[in-house]
Amino acid sequence: MNEVGLIGLGNIGGGMCKRLLDRGIGVVGFDVSSAAATAAAELGAKIESSPAAVAQQVDIIVTSLPNPAIVRDVYLGGEGLVAKARRGSTLIETSTIDPNTMRHVGEAAAAAGIDILDVALSGEPAQAILGELVFQVGGADELIDRHLDLLQVLAKKINRTGGIGTAKTVKLVNNLMSLGNVAVAAEAFVLGVKCGMEPKRLYDILSVSGGRSAHFVTGFSKVIEDDYRASFKTSLALKDIKLILDLANDEHYPVRLAPVIASLYGDALEQGLGEDNFTSVVKGYETAAGCTLAHNVNRDCGKTRVTK
């Protein structure tokens, strides 16, 4: 583990790069973004011109990529990892993608004599830098054990999910719950403010009540400050919910809430909120209610109620 390959040097990948370097582990990296590659080089990573060039130098490669299509290209293309990685290498795939793509990649790697781990991660760039991510890991226990030292450098908690594809399933199921929690919280919170509750007082009460979620507690403390700086972008939330809908369709499973959640995040994207935090889904409800949740902004929300 003197040197690790890292393909994808964006927000999370860049954080993992810094974490590895801080722990004295060399990084051989690649990213299509020159800015991301330059930032990693300034940290001390060796930057190569392609995934294939990375694969020819190291025996362990971590990938952190934007979507299933790019994962398929990086792994399965003619110059991809399956074709170019050394036999006996281990590929650790951490992107948010569908489990079917993960299984396809895993089967191709196995046929080429290459080991693979299916990893789904939770956390933000700051947590990646500190090695405080949470990993769901699918793959053979022996292979996980062999790479446990590396996984523990990057993550504070590691959950074993089963075979290849299971970690991606857990990730998407969890994200459906998370996105749904925030959407319901947005609808409920604006209703409370519409009925005359002061936002900060309402937040303080709900954040210790039974309906709370982790994302409500952390996210809505910022919403009432009118702070939508992204820890998880609305555009990524919409990407993930579309993956969830595709997965449900592949499994012939008739989801009923997921399409509604998808439409809410789609509306937020159409409002130009794609770069904002995914709690921006609340803004559509604010518009409908004619008020804002920011507790320090003057509003007439509670004065417009109709009494029957």
Strands (E), the chain: 3-7, 26-30, 46-47, 60-63, 90-93, 115-122, 133-138, 155-162
How many Å apart are CA 205 and CA 209, to the nearest integer?
6
CB 141 within 8 A of CB 203: no
* SS3 call for 227: coil
Q: What are the residue numbers of the active site?
A: 171
What angle, rounded to 10 degrees, do the helices at 166-194 and 99-111 form?
A: 160
Token pair 């417009």 is found at: 304
The order of strands in the sheet holding 133-138 is 46-47, 26-30, 3-7, 60-63, 90-93, 115-122, 133-138, 155-162
93 φψ region: left (φ > 0), alpha (ψ -120 to 50), beta (else)? beta
How many Å apart are CA 153 and CA 168, to the nearest integer?
21
Helix and strand numbers, DSSP H then E, in the chain: 15, 8
Which amino acid is present at 7? I
